[in-house]
Structure formats: C-alpha cells, structure tokens
Amino acid sequence: MSGPDWDARYRAAEGSLFGDAPNDYLRMICARTDFAPKTALLPADGDGRNGSWLASQGIAVTAFDLSAEATRRAVDRDKVNGVSVERFTADVTAWQPAGRTWDAAIVFYLHGPASLRRACLDKAIASLAPGGWIVLEAFAKAPQPATGPGPGSPALRYSNEELAEWVGELQIVELMAGTILLDEGSRHSGLADVVRLAARRS
C-alpha cells in the first residue's frame, strides 16, 4: 500500500488502527536483563504506540512511517504521553541511516514482497551499533491458508528460514513461529500465525 492509501485508512479509523498499548513481544524483550538500549530505531511505527512507550522507558527513540497521517497521530500521542520522539515520514525503501547507529532496531508488522522486507531488515542491521539488537514480530507463513489477520498471500509473510538467512552473522537470541491471540486494535484482532525474532550484533 502507498502512503496516501494508509493516510485514508488511518483517517477512516475510529481510534487507533492497532490499539494503544505497546506490543506484547516488545514488552517481553524489554523485560530481559540483557536488553538495555539507550537508543532505538522504529521503521514503520504507525501511529506511535510502540515508539511512544519506549520513550516513556527512558530510551531515545527515532521513528518513521510511510503515512503522514500516522506520523501526525504519533506526534499527538507523544504529547499526550509527555515524551519526546524524533519522528518523520519516510518510505523505508528510500530511507537511509546516513551513518547513524542505534542500540536497537524494532521492526513490527512490516509486510510486502520479499525484496521490501529484506531491504528493510538490511537497513535495520546496517544501523545497529556494536552489541545492538534487531527485534521483529510479523505475520508468518502458515502451514494452512491464512484466515486470521494479516496478508492473505504467503509471499507477503515471513518464515523462520528467511529471517535466519537475512540476519546473516548476527547472533540469534530467539527465533520462533507460532499462533498467538492478537488484541491490538481493529486491524490486529484474533488468532494469528506470527514469527518473532531477537538477534544481536557482536
């Protein structure tokens, strides 16, 4: 989908498309004693629930999204939450880290053809400082045709095998696929096949 398409979807939504609470897996990772980033990058942060929450934990957050409307809503959310987040609108296929690095890159539910997903992950990995983390949750390729939330085409979803290849020489801390109950607004509701990845640069 294009930026204008997402703009229209956000404007038509009653409330947040993906809920207001931070992602459960993000909270789980942040509870780890070995995960202590001072800075974090969030591509495709939508209307900001995850970036805003991370900022409330004392992390300096840089976040962007394809949708200008989502970014505007994210800025409003940050103001309500009393946090400061560096936000801008950008297409992940065109965005470049320009030599900047972060302690963590958080990529949640960014879907599209394999070329787009791989490009996003490559840029996220390139942006990591030494010891930095990649954290990803997304819809997984399932053994049965997808019936719950997420893309209907398996070509737009992730597999463990893809991710293990794409993270290259990063140390995989965990990589799993399974079915969970999503309760994240109108777009992420119900049983869903997901993949979760945490990997670390040495």
User: Higher model confidence: residue 94 or residue 13?
Assistant: 94
Confidence of residue 127 (pLDDT cuts 50, 70, 90): very high
CATH node for 3-11+22-200: 3.40.50.150
The whole-number average pLDDT for the span 177-191 is 75
Residues 6+ apart with CB under 8 A from 76: none
**Residue environment code for 52-62, b if the CB has 16+ CB neighbours within 10 A, otherwise e:** bbbbeeebebb
Give the pLDDT of residue 189.
Answer: 63
Kindly report the average pLDDT of the chain as a whole number: 89
Confidence of residue 10 (pLDDT cuts 50, 70, 90): low
pLDDT at position 4 over 70: no
Q: Which amino acid is at 7?
A: D
pLDDT at position 184 over 90: no
Give the pLDDT of residue 144.
Answer: 64
The whole-number average pLDDT for the span 26-50 is 97
What are the tens digits of pLDDT across the range 43-102? Answer: 999 999 999 999 999 999 999 999 999 999 999 999 999 999 999 999 998 999 989 999
In the chain, what percentage of residues exceed pLDDT 90?
72
- The helix (H) or strand (E) run that includes residue 96 is none
User: Higher model confidence: residue 46 or residue 4?
Assistant: 46
Three-class DSSP category at 104:
strand
Domain definitions of the chain by residue range:
3-11+22-200
Closest CA relative to residue 26, chosen from 38, 13, 40: 40
Q: Which amino acid is at 45?
A: D
Give the pLDDT of residue 105.
Answer: 98
